[in-house]
Amino acid sequence: MATAADVLNASGATAANDHTIELSVRVRRFNPEVSEESWWDEWTVRCDPLERLVEVLHQIKWHLDGTLSFRRSCAHGICGSDAMLIDGRNQLACKVLAQDVAPRVTIEPIRGLAVLKDLIVDMDPFMDDYRSILPYLINDSGEPDKERRQSPEDRHRYDDTTKCILCAACTTSCPEFWGDGDYVGPAAIVNAHRFIFDSRDQAARERMKILSENTGVFRCRTTFNCTDACPRGIQVTKAIQEVKRAILFERF
């Protein structure tokens, strides 16, 4: 009789062996304990064509160079830890497959935030920008016993911007953000949009005031980098435009 192992096992261990591909991974390295300058390393590994790039990085870290450092957690595009500049585009390493970048891929840290080590950047300024736009529901008109009512249409109005996972792929793809660290950046605006267009919220004016300052939405030059970079498919530039229009016409 087959054991549990025989029946349920199989796939992971054997499926890939025949059709693996070769992938060269070039990574911009930085370690303040080693050097003030960054440098490049390159490794070549064999992997399943459907292997996620983040797992290829693990393969390197666990078996070739333990010092290679990067953030990751869920490995399927939900936690937002592993935004990297992959072949010149901001992407989550867990949503890029080996076959899409083979035979050679170049990985760098996302731009505009200080690099702390290898692919790890300082996220605190990014989170500070997020916090600056009052990212929480504000409604002081007394709490009902049950839920606040909201029509499906009103709920749909801000659906797109609720998807944000704060990975920073959008903000660190924005030339305005690279050029001027004071700009709050697309992600903060997306999160402001999420509340400004929520029919239950009452603080849209306060957020719009914050975003109408010279660190806010009018810095946006509509280059659409943010929309291209968003791993959640959020129409980031559209959201920014909607906030701009709301500020100009006080329509929201």
Partner 1 sequence: MTTTHTYDAVVIGGGGAGLRAAIELSERCRTIVISKLYPTRSHTGAAQGGVCAALGNVEEDSSEWHAFDTVKGGDYLVDQPAALLMTEEAIDAIYQLERWGLPFNRTPDGRIDQRRFGGHTRNHGEAPVRRACYAADRTGHMILQTLYQQCVKRDVRFLNEFYSLDLLRNEDGRTAGIVAYELGTGELHVIRAKAVVFATGGYGRMFRVTSNAHALTGDGPAIVWRRGIPLEDMEMFQFHPTGLARLGVLLSEAARGEGGIVLNSEGERFMERYAPTIKDLAPRDMVSRAIYQEIKEGRGGGPNGDWAYLDISHLDPKVIEEKLPDITEFARIYLKVEPTKEPVPIQPTAHYAMGGIPTDTDGRVVTGPDEEVVPGLYAAGECACVSVHGANRLGTNSLLDLVVFGRRAGDDAARYVTQEPLAPVEKGAEAPALEHLNSILTRTTGDNAGDIRTELQDSMFDLAFVVRSQESLSKMREILGGLRERYDRVAITDKGAVYNTDLMETVELGFLLDCADALVAAALERTESRGAHYREDHPLRDDANWMKHTLAYREPDGSIRIGFKPVKMGPYIPMERKY
| Site membership for partner 1, residue 140 (CB under 8 A) | no
Of residues 21, 102, 120, 210, which one binds partner 1 by CB under 8 A?
120
Interface characters, 85-104, with partner 1 (x: CB under 8 A): ----------x-x-------
Q: At what angle do helices 236-249 and 186-196 cross, to 10 degrees?
A: 60
Nearer to partner 1, 6 or 249 (CB): 6
Interaction residues for partner 1, span 215-234 (CB under 8 A) = none
| Site membership for partner 1, residue 79 (CB under 8 A) | yes
| Site membership for partner 1, residue 70 (CB under 8 A) | yes
Say which amino acid occupies 204: A
Q: How many CB atoms are located within 10 Å of the residue 108 CB?
A: 21
**DSSP E strand stretches across 3-113:** 21-29, 39-47, 83-86, 89-92, 104-108
Where does this chain touch partner 1 (CB under 8 A) — which range of 37-45, 55-63, 171-179, 241-249? 55-63
| Site membership for partner 1, residue 77 (CB under 8 A) | yes
| Site membership for partner 1, residue 114 (CB under 8 A) | no
End-to-end, the C-alpha distance of the chain in Å comes to 66
| Site membership for partner 1, residue 80 (CB under 8 A) | yes
Distance CA 50, CA 199 (A): 42
Distance CA 179, CA 173 (A): 11
Nearer to partner 1, 49 or 182 (CB): 49
Token pair of 154 as six digits = 């009103």
